[in-house]
Amino acid sequence: MAKIAVEEPFEDVKTALEEKGHTVTMFNTDQDVTGYDLGVVRAINEGNNDEFNFPVVSMKGMSIDDAVQAVESKLSQV
């Protein structure tokens, strides 16, 4: 399964992704986050999309189920 970084405070998303078998680590915006297959963030900053070296899913406007589906869809495209 995938190694996923989830931005704090989305513990519920972390738990849902772990239930799907993924390895999930929480991070905060001040950390240098590298080495993941995918990330889940609060929102994508239009001015700085190269902040991460992996694909990201924005939680903006999403439920937990929406986020999990978006993660799995994006992982299937990688």
pLDDT at site 69? 97
What mean pLDDT is predicted for residues 18-42? Answer: 91
Q: Is pLDDT at 76 greater than 60 in this prediction? A: yes
What domains are defined for the chain? 3-77 (3.40.50)
What mean pLDDT is predicted for residues 12-38? Answer: 92
Q: How far apart are CA 57 and CA 65, in angstroms?
A: 13
pLDDT at site 39? 94
